Amino acid sequence: MILKIDRLAIELPMPEDPDPDAAAAVQELLGGRFGEMSTVMNYTFQSFNFRGRKDAKPYYDLISNISAEEYGHVELVAATINGMLTGASDPSQVNGEVGVTLPGAKENRLSHHFIVSGQGALVANSLGQPWQGDYVFNSGDLALDLLHDFFLESGARAQKIRVYEMTDHPIARQMLGYLLVRGGVHQVAYAKALEELTGATVTKLLNMPNVPNSKFPETRQWEERGLHRILYRFSPDDYREIDKIWKGEHPQDGEEVEVVDGPPEGAPRPDTPAQPGIGVPGYELGELSDIAQRMMQRA
Ligand code: MN
Ligand code: MN
């Protein structure tokens, strides 16, 4: 089962200047092969299909526990895309007018944001191609699955860095700074799991991190709080064996890594107002709020 908390992992800046083309690039980090949909679904199904759990509890706990954090990452990238698309259609127009609100939208590189969705995140990559179930690798061989997960986190990091280079949008940069740090934790966690399992020093396979987090100013606030050394235990009572793997030194700074009980404190979601250009057939602006007010008064 899963317990939901209606907060984002971190505070995101409020939407100000839209950038729909940069939002399209960020889509890769949500629904691309190496995006957050892939991390959440890989670890979720690897945990669902895990056989012989009792004999391999720390590994099961690690994979299943990280899948919960990844859900929050999907949520954070989706909120980023929503923020970057806010204001991308002409806000001076109201519903009911025709031929005025989306004149520029066809120039944007991902028109699905405007035609198929209400200026929201798609379960798709930067080209608008849908996320696919065969991005999930689950062989049933623990070492192979963990090696894949290490590879997935490493590829995800490379793509985050490229999207970082493509946009300096403040919402994207805030999200990227945090996820570079958190993805780094998972990369090291799977490397540690493989080292426990096989004795191989997996981190030596890749020059990792070839571009350290310290190069990105947006990672600093998280590293200063030690988030690169923390694995959150995303459960009130379960997944207690993750500390059998998440222990010892962090390969980057040599400091002790640590398990923290419970999810991060998080922050409220930024408000993303209704977008006038998308209400077809839709309600007048403010009409939904009146309906909701009446419902709450009746209750
Ligand atoms: Mn992630
Ligand atoms: Mn991850």
Q: 278 alpha carbon to ligand 2 midpoint, in Å?
A: 33
Ligand nearest to the CA of 37: 1
Task: Note the pLDDT of residue 289.
Answer: 87
Distance 158 CA to ligand 2 centre (A): 13
Return the axis-axis angle of helices 57-85 and 142-166, rounded to nearest 10°.
20
Instruction: Tell me which CATH code domain 20-92+103-298 carries.
Output: 1.20.1260.10
Q: Which ligand is nearest to the CA of 176?
A: 1
Q: Give burial (CB, 10 Å; 0-12/13-18/19+) of 157.
A: buried
Domain ranges of the chain: 20-92+103-298
For 173-201, letters b (16+ CB in 10 Å) and e give bbbbbbbbbbbbbbbbbbbbbbebbeeee
Crossing angle for the helix pair 57-85 and 20-31, nearest 10 degrees? 170
Q: Which residues surround ligand 2, an ion (CB under 5 A)?
A: 39, 183, 186
Expressed in angstroms and rounded, the spacing between residue 42 Cα and the centre of ligand 2 is 10
pLDDT per residue as tens digits for the range 100-129 = 667 678 889 999 999 999 899 999 999 999
pLDDT of residue 97: 63
> Measured in angstroms, how far is the CA atom of residue 242 from the centroid of ligand 1?
18
Q: Which ligand is nearest to the CA of 65?
A: 2
pLDDT, tens only, 44-98: 999 999 999 999 999 999 999 999 999 999 999 999 999 999 988 875 655 556 6
Q: What are the phi and psi torsion angles at 267 (to 5°)?
A: -150, 155
- Burial code (b: 16+ CB inside 10 Å, e: under 16) for 221-253 equals ebbeebbbbbbbbbbeeebebbbbbbeeebbbe
Provide DSSP, 228-290: GGEEEE-SSS--GGGGGTS-SB-TTT-PBPEEEES----BPPPP----GGG-SS---TTHHHH
Calculate what percentage of the chain has a pLDDT beyond 90: 78
Asked if residue 277 has pLDDT above 80, the reply is no
Q: pLDDT tens-digit profile of 156-196? A: 999 999 999 999 999 999 999 999 999 999 999 999 999 99
Cα 113 to averaged position of ligand 1 atoms, centre (Å): 23
Distance between CA atoms of residues 283 and 53, nearest Å: 51
Residue 96: predicted pLDDT: 58
